[in-house]
């Protein structure tokens, strides 16, 4: 077996899917065929169709539609989705994120003084639908969640944030509850607790992000309006870029006014993957709800 072939076989399914999404983003205007996308990741069309559908819950062709700019613009034009309506009226259950979430606490001045001196941080490594993650927690809640394939770099990045803290590789309940967010079964997601350090402006922006339902998108300008600072779109972007907990605070749901997805700390391809995955899950949930309603009509 050649070295290149062995290397290809060692790729994880998500690495192949991420590469496929990169290919789709680059060739979207040509509407590549299933065969072309499968060839780009060096697997058979049959295997790729099965692998991708198992990961996303929809076919590659359907998923490609979710990643298009026209789909993103359509979501913006139709802000009053079922999830939006449920959130605005205080209903639970319409959005799988918002019937569970998180009260964000600002840190007291001494808690992260001197780079986290006297602070005990537990951390663990885990798999997600979008690759490996490191998640860390203090005695008050989750303080850090980053996507990172390299464990050494992941731990180094965490320690750079809190250089004087003490660290233990222990999986605790805060981390376990947080990792449930990547599962379809969200029974324990309402138990997630976050322990974040940030300026009052950053905390206000992060709180606003929690109001964006799963499957919907917002813009930097919209967030600026919602927090009462309509001229602060650029500062909003900076605060979003400093989000210390990937996915738990859904900064991936904020895109440019033009409809382009824009930047993301962990790469534009990963942002596209997450947006498409959430859109697919949301549509599947809506279809199930419609079918249940029809059965009872």
Counted domains in the chain: 3
Residues 206 and 268 in one domain: yes
Say what the pLDDT of residue 90 is: 33
Residue 286 confidence (pLDDT): 60
Is 100 within a domain? Answer: no
Residue 195: the pLDDT is: 84
Q: What is the pLDDT of residue 262?
A: 82
Residue 169: what pLDDT? Answer: 97
18 and 161 assigned to the same domain = no
* Residue 142 belongs to domain with CATH number: 3.30.160.70
Residues 59 and 88 placed together within one structural domain of the fold: no
H or E, element range at 134: strand 131-138
- Would strands 120-128 and 131-138 be described as parallel, antiparallel, or unpaired? antiparallel
Q: Same domain for 47 and 18?
A: yes
Is there a single domain that holds both residue 191 and residue 208? no
User: Is 72 within a domain?
Assistant: no
Domain that holds residue 11: 3-66
- CB-based burial of residue 186 (10 Å sphere; 0-12 exposed, 13-18 middle, 19+ buried)? middle
**Domain termination residue (choose one: 154, 178, 197):** 197
Residue 288 domain-assigned (yes or no): yes
pTM over 0.85: no
pLDDT of residue 17: 82
Residue 103 belongs to a domain: no
Between CA 83 and CA 99 the distance in angstroms is: 10
Q: What is the pLDDT of residue 117?
A: 60
CATH code, domain with 60? 1.10.10.60
- Report pLDDT for 165: 87
Instruction: Give the pLDDT confidence score for residue 228 in this predicted structure.
Output: 82
Residue 73 domain-assigned (yes or no): no
The DSSP annotation for 214-278 comes to TT--EEHHHHHHHTT-TT-HHHHHHHHHT-SBTTTS-GGGEE-TTS-----TT-HHHHHHHHHHH
Instruction: For residues 211 and 272, give the distance between their C-alpha atoms in angstroms, rounded to a whole number.
Output: 20
Catalytic position from the list 136, 249, 251, 273: 251
**Does residue 151 lie in a domain region?**
yes
Q: Are residues 90 and 232 in the same domain?
A: yes
Q: Kindly state whether residues 85 and 228 are assigned to the same domain.
A: yes
- Give the separation between CA 54 and CA 291, rounded to whole angstroms: 22
Residue 46 lies in a domain: yes
Q: Which of 197, 223, 239 is the last residue of a domain?
A: 197
Residues 259 and 275 sit within 8 Å (Cβ to Cβ): no
Alpha helices in 98-164 (DSSP H): 113-116, 151-161
Asked whether residue 71 is assigned to any structural domain, the reply reads no
Separation between Cα atoms, residue 216 and residue 76, nearest integer Å: 8
Q: Active site includes 143? A: no
User: Is residue 176 within a helix (H) or strand (E), and if so which, with residue range?
Assistant: helix 173-179
* Domain co-membership, 206 together with 272: yes
The single-letter DSSP state of residue 31 is -
Helix (H, G, I), strand (E, B) or coil at 124: strand
Per-residue confidence (pLDDT) for residue 7, from 0 to 100: 42
pLDDT of residue 27: 74
Residue 218: CATH number of its domain: 1.10.10.10
One domain, residues 149 and 127: yes
Counting Cα atoms < 13 Å in the Cβ hemisphere of 123 gives 25
Looking at the structure, tell me whether residues 169 and 288 fall in a common domain. no
* 90 in the same domain as 217: yes
Where is the domain boundary, 176, 197, 218? 197
Mean pLDDT by 10 residues, the chain (297 residues): 43 78 75 87 90 74 60 41 38 33 35 58 94 93 94 95 90 91 59 76 84 87 86 84 90 87 88 88 62 47
* 131 and 10, same domain (yes or no): no
Taking the C-alpha atoms of residue 218 and residue 208, their distance in angstroms, rounded to an integer, is 10
Q: Which pLDDT score is estimated for 113?
A: 42
């Amino acid at each position: 077996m050649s070295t290149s072939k062995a290397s290809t076989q060692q790729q994880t399914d998500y690495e192949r899917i991420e590469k496929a999404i990169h290919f789709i983003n680059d060739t979207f205007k040509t509407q590549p065929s299933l065969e072309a996308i499968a060839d780009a990741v060096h697997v058979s069309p049959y295997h790729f169709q099965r692998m991708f559908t198992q990961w996303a819950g929809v076919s590659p062709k359907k998923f490609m539609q979710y990643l298009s700019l026209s789909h993103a613009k359509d979501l913006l034009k139709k802000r009053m989705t079922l999830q939006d309506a449920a959130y605005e009226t205080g209903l639970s259950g319409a959005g799988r994120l918002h019937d569970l979430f998180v009260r964000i606490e600002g840190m007291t001045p001494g808690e992260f003084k001197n780079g986290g001196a006297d602070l005990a941080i537990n951390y663990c490594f885990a798999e997600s639908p979008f690759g490996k993650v490191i998640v860390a927690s203090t005695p008050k809640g989750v303080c850090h969640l980053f996507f990172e394939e390299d464990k050494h770099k992941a731990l180094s990045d965490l320690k750079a944030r809190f250089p004087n803290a003490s660290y233990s590789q222990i999986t605790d309940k805060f981390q376990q509850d947080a990792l449930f967010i990547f599962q379809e079964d969200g029974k324990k997601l309402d138990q997630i607790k976050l322990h974040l350090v940030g300026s009052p402006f950053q905390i206000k922006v992060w709180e606003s992000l929690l109001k964006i339902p799963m499957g919907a998108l917002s813009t930097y300008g919209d967030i600026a309006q919602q927090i009462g600072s309509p001229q602060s779109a650029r500062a909003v972007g900076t605060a979003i870029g400093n989000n210390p907990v990937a996915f738990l605070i859904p900064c991936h749901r904020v895109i440019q006014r033009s409809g382009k997805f824009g930047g993301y700390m962990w790469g534009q391809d990963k942002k596209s993957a997450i947006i498409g995955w959430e859109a697919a899950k949301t549509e599947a949930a809506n279809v199930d709800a419609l079918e249940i309603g029809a059965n009872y009509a």
